[in-house]
Amino acid sequence: DQQVKQNSPSLSVQEGRISILNCDYTNSMFDYFLWYKKYPAEGPTFLISISSIKDKNEDGRFTVFLNKSAKHLSLHIVPSQPGDSAVYFCAASRSQTGANNLFFGTGTRLTVIP
């Protein structure tokens, strides 16, 4: 049962334009959300996160928006660059004692066309 969903397996965007990657979740107990970026043959690298008490977090060209009522978050990349071409994973976590597992979506492959 997939608690975190990324319904778009791929996205192509022209260099300099905005990339919008979407993510939906089903568990209302999630209180932290993260985006990871993954290049082929490498492990995922942390990109940006947002707490459930916020609706927006910005870091340079990357902004994550959270809509708790819709259980939806999105990652905006502006402007998109060819080096942004990678697979992006959305992840969610629920704070609890013992351990904090991350639940991942299936990923969206972003291609930025020069």
Partner 1 sequence: DVKVTQSSRYLVKRTGEKVFLECVQDMDHENMFWYRQDPGLGLRLIYFSYDVKMKEKGDIPEGYSVSREKKERFSLILESASTNQTSMYLCASGFPPGTYGYTFGSGTRLTVV
Q: Which of 19, 36, 52, 64 binds partner 1 (CB under 8 A)?
A: 36
Specify the residue, 41 or 70, whose C-beta has the smaller distance to partner 1.
Answer: 41
Min separation Cβ 106 and partner 1, Å: 4
Q: Which of 32, 62, 68, 74 binds partner 1 (CB under 8 A)?
A: 32
Relative to beta strand 108-113, strand 10-14 is: parallel
Min separation Cβ 105 and partner 1, Å: 6
C-alpha 35/C-alpha 37 separation (Å) is 7
**Residue that is written with structure tokens 């066309």 in the block:** 113
Residue 43 interacting with partner 1 (CB under 8 A): yes
Q: Which residues have C-beta within 8 Å of that of residue 110, sequence separation ≥ 6?
A: 10, 11, 12, 13, 19, 21, 77, 80, 84, 85, 86, 87, 88
- Chain residues in the site for partner 1 (CB under 8 A): 6, 9, 32, 34, 36, 41-46, 49, 89, 91, 93, 95, 98-107
